[in-house]
Amino acid sequence: MSAGDWTNIESDPGVFTSLVEELGVTGIQFEELFDLSQLEELSPVYGLVFLFKYEGSQQPQSVDYTNTNVFFARQVIQNSCATQAILSILLNNPEISIGPILSEFKLFCNDFDADTKGWAISNSDQIRLVHNSFAKPDPFLIEATGEGGEDAFHFISYVPIDGVLWELDGLQSGPINHGAFVDGDWFSKGEIWMIRSVIEARIALYAASEIRFNLMAVIKNREQLYTELLALAQDENQKKELLMLLSAAHEKREHWKKENQRRKHNFIGFTFQLLQEMAKSGLLQPAIEK
């Protein structure tokens, strides 16, 4: 694989939410999870994105191609795994409004094999440009291979499709079937054990040497959800609670917007100019010595 024109992006719910919205997706957002018990509070949940340190090789797992409804793409290029993991959820859930860009993309490559689907993602200018727009400006072009002591991380998805929990990992040869849900609700109290056991088993593979993991849920847009519930609310106390939740959801969106503006702004020229002026005025060396 070659990194090509794809760059690394930060694992952040604000980044991922804005990324999919720029691709035309509506009605969803990403939420960082610290405990799987949060899932019941976040319903509806459309999928999970899991980030872990990539060790350079993965144990091949038993894959299942029997369900043709599963959209699975191999990862054929480096640095695209975040967006590919996100697409694995978006393109496998008919409840999500994915918009014209991704609808046309899915229609175009739905019958391709997994490798060709991967190349279709990698060669999509629209998807690549949106992905790259969230990369931090860097004065040096560095290919993120994980070599030379630099850690590399990988994203995978967990998605419910036709009552079954699927793991979609672009570095595997196909989708991985983790079994059917008993009552069909993949985040009910009776089913969270399945999600927990699968993710804990994945973490256990690296537990002795690694503690850096990140788990995000794809959920319904909170502003939209609370607005809908508020329109139906009859009780005044419930209305007040929903208004507070709606305000908090709005503030979170505004915070994400500001953070993404900072991420996208190129401070490199300003920084170089500042250092030059400090050097001219004799302030740079004292600052370094401090």
List active site positions. 81, 154
- The residue whose two tokens read 């604000």 is 14
Beta carbons of 98 and 19 less than 8 angstroms apart:
no
- The residue whose two tokens read 């797992």 is 61
Amino acid at 165: L
How many whole angstroms separate alpha carbon 122 and alpha carbon 228? 37
What is the helix (H) or strand (E) element at residue 103, kind and residue range?
A: helix 99-109
Q: What separation in angstroms does the CA of 6 have from each of 82, 128, 133, 169?
A: 11, 7, 10, 18
Buried b (16+ CB within 10 A) or exposed e, 183-201: eeebbeeebeebbeebbee
Q: Residue 217 pairs with which residues in a beta bridge?
A: 31, 48
